[in-house]
Structure 1
Amino acid sequence: MDRAPYASDPALSRGREFRTESGAARGPRSAFQRDRDRIIHSIAFRRLRSKTQVFVSPDGDHYRTRLTHSLEVSQIARVLARALRLDEDLTEALSLGHDIGHPPFGHAGEKALSEAMAHAGGYDHNAHGLRTLARIESPYPEHEGLNLTWETLEGMAKHNGPVAAPNWALRDIDEAYPLALGQWPSLEAQIANVADDIAYDNHDIDDGLRAGFLTLDQLLALDFVADQWREVERRYPTAPRDRQLRELIRTQIGLMVNDVIARTGAEVGGLASADEVRDAGRQLAGFSPGMAAQERQLKTFMYDNLYYHPEQLATAEGARDVIARLFVAYRQDETTLPRAWREQLPAADPERSRHICDFVAGMTDRFAIEQCRRIYGMVPEGLSNV
């Protein structure tokens, strides 16, 4: 593999938290390939297929979920990693695992758990993703968690940058297996993060248009989008409108990807190792200043017109109510928990609430709705708005 000097090298990995005695060689895979495969084969990853991306419990099969979003992030991140001669397997592992900590109903569910866990250290989806893969998801006889490499855990912990004030979940893992939280992570982690931005910036537009929450006229108020739309119309004047819109999305993704490759390549050209990336003291992978300004404008537009759309907010409130009700039920009556979770329920807080939070956070949208109906005999109306 033609790996750049600043790329992460699996042969130089800092290793795994737990040393194992297993000598089984399950195929000719690098350490980072094994991390990627462990994430893909995890139960937590499979549950992403029924967790909210933008729309809560969508009736349509064409809307994105956390699973399809993660796959799209992975595709974009692999393109970036290959162009920059990074380790594609580590980049892919981080992309596929980056949303595993999200609870049901997306940010509405996270808000409910943050409120419910205020007395027990709070809730953060990024830290919970690390907790899920390093502690909760435990298929192996020799240790808890998936025992991922240091580089994968580091990238998940810090893909948004250094962490100055980790919450309890991340702090517990860092104390057991220090992840250098004050440093910037690898370029692979930085690339996975910017690929996430590119994916949801553009794919959420696609879903918003499909659902009727956004209109083309609204989008064309953005000069960046209007420029691309005029080019699409010039090149494909007779194409059906839906195909033109999909071409618009592809065009924008391509422009962002090419911009990141050019900008990041210029930033890292003189670096001689992955450690120099961490010691740089700043983010090295990202957009050029001009593209960054356009991307911020696009994000503002999406919050104003899609994420904070009145129907979205009403649905989110119903979803928040479901999670809040479930947490209260499990706290007040432990018999409402499944036997396996009830048998491991700690006697006192904060561990007791954290155990309940682990259970609730792992739910899919569908399972949370079913549990609310089972316990309360009802669920709030309007939990699907598309």
Structure 2
Amino acid sequence: MTALAPWASSPRASRGRLHAEPGAAERGPRDAFQRDRDRVIHSISFRRLRHKTQVFMAPDGDHFRVRLTHSIEVAQIGRTISRALGLNEDLTEALCLAHDIGHPPFGHAGEEALERALAGKGGFDHNGHTLRTLMMLERPYPRYAGLNLTWETLEGLAKHNGPIFAPNWALAEADAEARLELTSYASLEAQVAALADDIAYDNHDIDDGLRAGLLSIDQLCEVPLVARGWAIARRDFADLGDDRLHGEVIRSQIGAMVNDLIAETRQRIHASGVASVDDVRAAGRALVGFSADMAADERRLKAFMYANLYHHPRQLAAAAAADHVIDGLFAAYHADPSLLPEEWRIRLPDAEPYLSRHIADFIAGMTDRYAVSRYREVVGPIDLPEGF
């Protein structure tokens, strides 16, 4: 690792963990942020990401991305950016790997279904559920719940997208326990993780959309950022067929976005005068970001992807089926909690909203395929559209 910049997060200056860990040094020469990264990787919730939707629900193709592979790709981009900026790569990696752990089965369709199920009971938000999972639902240690991550990792997961002034109940509970200073900005490592996520899914979703036949390069060239990359690829590889150039366009686009972000962020850091991570939190604005031109290009790309991929008729049909599965599971477990597995029944709260939240916790932890199999077991047969 390169020497840390003054405004980077240092494990030696960490605010620590909620629970003391005597004898931790006996488990290897790792610093606090390296331990956090490793705890995420070894968690059950992280392993389950291999069967959770990224874009395509329970995909039947081995080459499509899922939450796990997406998180790994985000971490790779995040580490590259952090190294260039002199930030803490291990903290960045921990945040990138953990950022989607709170997603329920079926991606945003599953999240919307759980949000409805918990209407009037606090609702559901995947970001808040990430904190809830890592602080309470994961239970690898004998004396306390959660992974006992450092304050810096919890803070970064809570507010990597910026300050939070109206936290939902799950995030409010996390804040009450860890005092995450939700109304300030997070560390630069957390800000990098948020933009690495955008870069990864902006580009890799293009790759999956092309592979699935839901997008064409002609369509994509309506987006100026893609059109510029395609023109360069065609110029440099004029002897190759179009299908050989898709990956080149995506790689060059990722490189352009990463380079722009690094250059813009360096300028913002210099202009802000920050000299420490506490100065970063008090800066009053995000210091990691794209230039104005790249930000505009990225917004146009996102708008295109929503119109042509995320809201494609085939995707909407799959989302409707996912919605039906989550609705049916929640209704069945709420009507008869004895259908829950024993380890969840023995901790079943008696009163609302805690009963409904407990059921939502169980459902949110499911993989796509487990949710479908449990639906068939506790509700009944279901016909699923192409893609399941």
- 2:150 maps to a residue whose letter is T
- The equivalent residue for 1:47 is 48
Of residues 357, 360, 364 in structure 2, which corresponds to 1:357?
360
Please give the alpha-carbon distance, in whole angstroms, between the structure 2 residues aligned to 1:92 and 1:205.
Answer: 23
Q: Could you report, residue by residue, the CA deviation over 1:180-222 in whole angstroms, capped at 9, with x for unpaired residues?
A: 0000000000000000000000000000000011011101112
- The equivalent residue for 2:165 is 164
Deviation at 1:336, TM superposition (A): 1.1
Q: Could you report, residue by residue, the CA deviation over 1:134-193 in whole angstroms, capped at 9, with x for unpaired residues?
A: 111010112110000000000000011001111111111111110000000000000000
Please state if 1:286 is matched with 2:289.
yes
Deviation at 1:18, TM superposition (A): 1.3
User: Are the counterparts in 2 of residues 63 and 207 from structure 1 also a CA contact under 8 Å?
Assistant: yes
Of residues 307, 314, 318 in structure 2, which corresponds to 1:315?
318
- 2:181 maps to a residue whose letter is A
Structure 1 pair 106–235 and aligned structure 2 pair: CA distance change class (3 A): same
* SS of structure 1 residue aligned to 2:27: coil
* SS of structure 2 residue aligned to 1:25: helix
User: Are the counterparts in 2 of residues 57 and 383 from structure 1 also a CA contact under 8 Å?
Assistant: no
Deviation at 1:223, TM superposition (A): 2.0
User: Are the counterparts in 2 of residues 20 and 142 from structure 1 also a CA contact under 8 Å?
Assistant: no
Deviation at 1:24, TM superposition (A): 5.0
* SS of structure 2 residue aligned to 1:120: coil
- 1:30 maps to a residue whose letter is D
- 1:5 maps to a residue whose letter is P
Please give the alpha-carbon distance, in whole angstroms, between the structure 2 residues aligned to 1:23 and 1:264.
Answer: 36
- The equivalent residue for 1:265 is 266
* SS of structure 2 residue aligned to 1:352: helix
- The equivalent residue for 1:275 is 278
Please give the alpha-carbon distance, in whole angstroms, between the structure 1 residues aligned to 2:225 and 2:361.
Answer: 42
- The equivalent residue for 1:105 is 106
User: Are the counterparts in 2 of residues 53 and 69 from structure 1 also a CA contact under 8 Å?
Assistant: yes
Please give the alpha-carbon distance, in whole angstroms, between the structure 1 residues aligned to 2:341 and 2:175.
Answer: 30
- 1:103 maps to a residue whose letter is P
- The equivalent residue for 1:366 is 369
Q: Could you report, residue by residue, the CA deviation over 1:19-78 in whole angstroms, capped at 9, with x for unpaired residues?
A: 233455211111000000000000000000000000011100000000000000000000
Q: Which runs of 5+ in 2 are unaligned?
A: none
Please state if 1:174 is matched with 2:136.
no
Q: How many percent of aligned residue pairs carry the same amino acid?
A: 60
Matched positions, count: 385
Structure 1 pair 255–23 and aligned structure 2 pair: CA distance change class (3 A): closer
Please give the alpha-carbon distance, in whole angstroms, between the structure 1 residues aligned to 2:199 and 2:25.
Answer: 39
Please give the alpha-carbon distance, in whole angstroms, between the structure 2 residues aligned to 1:252 and 1:173.
Answer: 37
Aligned Cα root-mean-square deviation (Å): 1.0
Of residues 331, 335, 339 in structure 2, which corresponds to 1:336?
339
Please give the alpha-carbon distance, in whole angstroms, between the structure 2 residues aligned to 1:66 and 1:355.
Answer: 23
User: What is the 5 A alignment of 1:1-386?
Assistant: 1-269=2-270, 270-382=273-385, 384=387
Deviation at 1:319, TM superposition (A): 0.3
Please give the alpha-carbon distance, in whole angstroms, between the structure 2 residues aligned to 1:10 and 1:40.
Answer: 19
Please give the alpha-carbon distance, in whole angstroms, between the structure 2 residues aligned to 1:91 and 1:380.
Answer: 42
Q: Could you report, residue by residue, the CA deviation over 1:245-297 in whole angstroms, capped at 9, with x for unpaired residues?
A: 10000000000000000000111133210011000000110100000000000
Structure 1 pair 229–178 and aligned structure 2 pair: CA distance change class (3 A): same
Deviation at 1:226, TM superposition (A): 1.1
- 1:12 maps to a residue whose letter is A
Q: Which runs of 5+ in 1 are unaligned?
A: none
TM-score (norm 2): 0.98
* SS of structure 1 residue aligned to 2:26: coil
- 1:33 maps to a residue whose letter is Q
Please give the alpha-carbon distance, in whole angstroms, between the structure 1 residues aligned to 2:77 and 2:354.
Answer: 39
Deviation at 1:383, TM superposition (A): 5.9
* SS of structure 2 residue aligned to 1:182: coil
Deviation at 1:241, TM superposition (A): 2.5
- 2:64 maps to a residue whose letter is Y
Please give the alpha-carbon distance, in whole angstroms, between the structure 2 residues aligned to 1:151 and 1:190.
Answer: 12
